[in-house]
Amino acid sequence: MLTTLRRIVLEFSQDAQLHSALERMVSQIKKALKTDCCSVYLADYSQQHFLLMASDGLAITSLGQTTIGFSEGLVGLVGQREEPLNIANAHHHKDFINAPEVQEDDFNAFLGTPIIHRRKVLGILSIQQKQARHFTENDEAFLVTLAAQLANALADAEVRNLLNQTQEKNCTVKQLVGIAGAPGIALSQIMVCQPKADLTALALCEIPPEAQDEQTQRFEQALAKTSADFEQLSLKLSHFIQDETLAIFDVYKQLLTQADISQEVYAKIKQGWQAESALKLVIEHYVLQFEAIDDSYLRERASDIRDLGNRLLFNLQQQHNQPLTLPHAFVLLADEVTASMLAEYQHKGLKGIISLSGSANSHAAILAQALEVPAVMGVSGIPLAQIDKQEVIVDGYSGELFINPDEALKREFQHLIAQEHALTEKVLAEIHLPTITPDGRTIELQLNAGLSAGFDCPEQLSSLGVGLYRTEIPFMSRPCFPSELEQTQLYEKILADFPQKSVTMRTLDVGGDKSLSYFPINEDNPFLGWRGIRITLDHPEIFLVQVRAMMRANQYHNNLEIMLPMISNVSEVDEALRLINQAYYEVNSELKQELKSKRKAEHTGHIDSGNNNLPRPKIGIMLEVPSVIFQLDELAQRVDFFSVGSNDLTQYLLAVDRNNAQVASLHDAYHPAVLRALNSIAEQSTKYLVPLSLCGELAGEPAGALLLLAMGFDKLSMNGHNIARIKWVIRHVDFQRAKIILSHTLKLTTAKQVHSYLNEQLELLSLGGFIRAGL
């Protein structure tokens, strides 16, 4: 039966037409269970009823016509109870209703089970038999299992079916929901974009030894051409955005050189692979490495690697760009919209982007934010060809898409677009002003950064500090651990970019879920495994080299702060501080000796090295593991600052993997437990006089920022594109009013209540325009 079940699900998911897929399915189930009838009803929430869509046993004339209310009949009862219903004689059941048109008078036995996807009943699957009997446990188990496996396929099939209806009937498709990638609203025609070259479709090909030199030369030429292409894209964008954002393309160029991709391709060619095949093998290795990472920001670098590989393949194959006839305004749709794709089209009428994959952490989304292009990412289950050239509304605030909207809906969104432009002008007018409430409470806003400290920071924000600098990338983009000198040079550049502003560098945060190809770790549960401070304390040679590099980089800047990740107990802090002190005294002594030797060589005489001590950086910890909430007293005696990692703290408090689509909706920083934990941390930090910051998505949301302000957080660290609106909100709400809002919020019992209340408060504060933008 398991083989039969799998075949039914597979054939259903492969059928592009929902109607034919349902017809085949009911016939297959009827045959497999040897019943007299099998039917499927789909839920229509707009009409509050189930519609009989397919049946093998009921009257053909009733298909697509017969409806049963959500609270009517046995079908409605199954939907209400959300569990199977097994009845020996349906006609005798109190909820049975007679529908003459379906011609089911001869059927007695009834077994129905709901088809549920993400807590929503999509339909009812039922079987019936003339003989009055209870269906067997095996029959029930088969039907329940089949319904559970069909749920995802049916959800995708319903989207495809709605799109077909849109084409045929010119009706509106609502609530196609993805991930909000970049704020804003766009109304325009869809243009589907396919990659010009695709490594995934490439077949591997070997070469004889005498062809290796030619293949190496071909790859060298492609490498040079690709680097020039990225330079050209960066130059084009420089007319539209600030230089810091353009560092995204520096990342591509770094991947071409520092990541040793080219050297690995050369090695594969020497092993006997054609240049294209060698490239495919190397790129796929890096993509798998990055896709295995838990951190959503770092995992999105797989998209950059894939894009780089396809660009190299395009130049390897010596293809030429074909001129395209573009509409004067369009929304770009692709399986995976990349940063380079966005750069290529942004000055040609681009109004918005839709990517079937990716997240708000992708470089395409970050670049879209800088260009103020609305973006929706991760919209699954949409066949590209079906919606090419159709009109669409892209809501980059909510992540919603509206295909072929009617005139009323278009007028509504055009009004919102006008409001958005007016609000943006107000926000930008105050971007250079201090972050202070009308009644005098100040809070510092800082930047989150990763591949390049300022890569997503507009020029007018360069006076801010960095609240979180991720140091993982130099380790992940190499075939071995980076040397102390390499790390020193990188960190020195970051510190120099922010003179007299603090730069908080997080020590290496890799482990079971963030793999290094040269340091493999295999674990059953990487979320709770060997990672962060645990791995670096177990390998002090890695930790000491990194800390030494940070301190050397800081000798002329004195703006470094070091932050320890994944702290779960006091002993980890004690051991890390011991190693940091060791590194400090070593580097301090070495620098004094180097200075002494230099002066001696220059014949400048005696040096009082005691006046040239290395600046000692502040040391802090990330509060992301719930256990530390109960040890803040002891920790406060050991460190200089606390920084809450709200994304991971939420994940651990709620036991939810936000990268798992099945449970991602449960990951909510506005959950009362999370807010109460944050408030407790803030109260204890104030009590122990320890500065407190937060780096996470909550800091970049207007309602979240108001709550954190009221709790007493000293600093909020966020992506650069959020700085302006958060500053504007804080400047227009009294601190005492924020305290009142917080007090009420902490009494609420569900995340839904919190969202509703905060939306209401933003409206009352005349900040309703930010509801779309942040909560």
pLDDT at 457 over 50: no
Q: Which region among 12-16, 142-146, 240-244, 744-748 has the lowest average model confidence (pLDDT)? A: 240-244
183 confidence band (pLDDT: 50, 70, 90): confident
- Looking up tokens 């400090």, which residue turns up? 584
Strand duo 375-377 + 350-355: pairing: parallel
Kindly state the average pLDDT of the residues 229-235: 78
Cβ proximity of 474 and 482 under 8 Å: yes
Longest dimension (CA), the chain: 111
* Pairwise CA distance, residues 80 & 116, whole Å: 12
- The overall average pLDDT reported for the chain is 85
What pLDDT, on the 0 to 100 scale, is given for residue 398?
81
For the segment 97-149, what is each residue's pLDDT rounded down to a tens digit? Answer: 999 999 999 999 999 999 998 788 999 999 999 999 999 999 999 999 999 88
What is the reported pTM? 0.70
Is residue 207 classed as helix, strand or coil in its secondary structure?
coil
Q: Which helix (H) or strand (E) holds 459?
A: none
Cβ proximity of 407 and 363 under 8 Å: no
Q: 540 Cβ partners below 8 Å, 6+ apart?
A: 579
Q: 547 Cβ partners below 8 Å, 6+ apart?
A: 507, 562, 579, 580, 583
Cβ proximity of 185 and 397 under 8 Å: yes
- Looking up tokens 């240049």, which residue turns up? 275
Cβ proximity of 173 and 29 under 8 Å: no
Q: Which region among 296-305, 447-456, 514-523 has the lowest average model confidence (pLDDT)? A: 447-456
For the segment 625-655, what is each residue's pLDDT rounded down to a tens digit? Answer: 999 999 999 999 999 999 999 988 998 999 9
What pLDDT, on the 0 to 100 scale, is given for residue 456?
42
For the segment 717-756, what is each residue's pLDDT rounded down to a tens digit? Answer: 988 778 888 999 999 999 999 999 999 999 999 999 999 9
Cβ proximity of 148 and 170 under 8 Å: no
Kindly state the average pLDDT of the residues 211-222: 90
Kindly state the average pLDDT of the residues 199-228: 89
- Looking up tokens 């496996």, which residue turns up? 149
pLDDT at 172 over 50: no
End-to-end CA distance of the chain: 47
Residues above pLDDT 70, as percent of the chain = 83
Q: Which region among 199-213, 420-434, 509-523 has the lowest average model confidence (pLDDT)? A: 509-523
Kindly state the average pLDDT of the residues 21-49: 93
pLDDT at 171 over 80: no
Angle (nearest 5°) at CA 202 between 201 and 208: 170
* Pairwise CA distance, residues 729 & 738, whole Å: 11
Cβ proximity of 102 and 63 under 8 Å: no
For the segment 383-417, what is each residue's pLDDT rounded down to a tens digit? Answer: 666 678 888 999 988 888 888 888 888 888 888 88
588 confidence band (pLDDT: 50, 70, 90): very high
The answer to whether residue 480 is catalytic is no
Q: Is 687 exposed, middle or buried (CB count within 10 Å of its CB: 0-12, 13-18, 19+)?
A: exposed
CA 180 to chain centre: 9
The alpha-carbon radius of gyration of the chain (Å, integer) is 30
202 confidence band (pLDDT: 50, 70, 90): confident
Handedness of CA 176, 367, 310, 269 (dihedral sign): negative
Cβ proximity of 513 and 291 under 8 Å: no
Strand duo 350-355 + 85-87: pairing: unpaired
HSE of 155 in the Cβ direction (CA atoms, 13 Å)?
Answer: 19
Q: What are phi and psi of 171, to 5 degrees?
A: -95, 165
Kindly state the average pLDDT of the residues 490-513: 86
Neighbours of 490 (CB within 10 A): 19
In the set 37, 117, 193, 363, the catalytic residue is 363
Strand duo 400-403 + 391-395: pairing: antiparallel
64: left (phi over 0), alpha (psi -120 to 50) or beta: left
DSSP character string of 477-529? TSSSPPPHHHHHHHHHHHHHHSTTS-EEEEPP--BTTB-BTTB----S-GGGS
DSSP character string of 534-554? HHHHH-HHHHHHHHHHHHHHT
Angle (nearest 5°) at CA 544 between 538 and 545: 120
In the set 38, 457, 695, 721, the catalytic residue is 695
* Pairwise CA distance, residues 392 & 404, whole Å: 6
Residue type, 678: L
What pLDDT, on the 0 to 100 scale, is given for residue 562?
98
Higher-scoring residue by pLDDT: 174, 571:
571
Is residue 236 classed as helix, strand or coil in its secondary structure?
helix
What pLDDT, on the 0 to 100 scale, is given for residue 650?
94
Residue type, 146: L
Smallest Cα–Cα separation from 399: which of 365, 449, 370, 371?
A: 365
For the segment 664-688, what is each residue's pLDDT rounded down to a tens digit? Answer: 678 899 999 999 999 999 999 999 9
For the segment 543-582, what is each residue's pLDDT rounded down to a tens digit? Answer: 999 999 999 999 999 999 999 999 999 999 999 999 999 9
What pLDDT, on the 0 to 100 scale, is given for residue 646?
93
What pLDDT, on the 0 to 100 scale, is given for residue 158?
61
Q: Which region among 89-93, 452-456, 704-708 has the lowest average model confidence (pLDDT)? A: 452-456
Most confident range (mean pLDDT) of 240-249, 527-536, 577-586, 765-774 is 577-586
The answer to whether residue 134 is catalytic is no
* Pairwise CA distance, residues 426 & 414, whole Å: 19
What secondary structure letter does DSSP report for 616?
A: P
Kindly state the average pLDDT of the residues 478-504: 89
Most confident range (mean pLDDT) of 221-230, 312-321, 407-416, 437-446 is 437-446
